[in-house]
Amino acid sequence: MRHLNYNHLLYFHTVAREGSIARASEALHITPQTISGQLKLLEESVGAPLFDRVGRGLVLSETGRAVN
């Protein structure tokens, strides 16, 4: 696992809590694209997807639950 960035973990936790990137971006006052890009970097660092898409929302994957 590569170096973990605090913002990656903050964005991950907020998306997990809010259930979507859009709601997390509103809560954090940053763009959805920023969150999406940072989550992609975190998933690459972990080596597995952290979320599963369910409808228009996101739920934690098995790996995501372990990280959370």
pLDDT at position 29 is 98
CA distance linking residue 15 with residue 60, whole number of Å: 9
What is the pTM assigned to this prediction? 0.88
Tell me the pLDDT tens digit for each residue of 14-33. Answer: 999 999 999 999 999 999 99
pLDDT at position 1 is 57
Q: Which domains can be identified in the chain, with CATH numbers?
A: 6-67 (1.10.10.10)
Give one DSSP letter per residue of 13-66, joined into a string. HHHHHHSSHHHHHHHHTS-HHHHHHHHHHHHHHHTS--EEEETTEEEE-HHHHH
**Confidence grade of residue 2 (pLDDT, cut at 50, 70, 90):** low
pLDDT at position 35 is 97
Res. 34: pLDDT tops 70 = yes
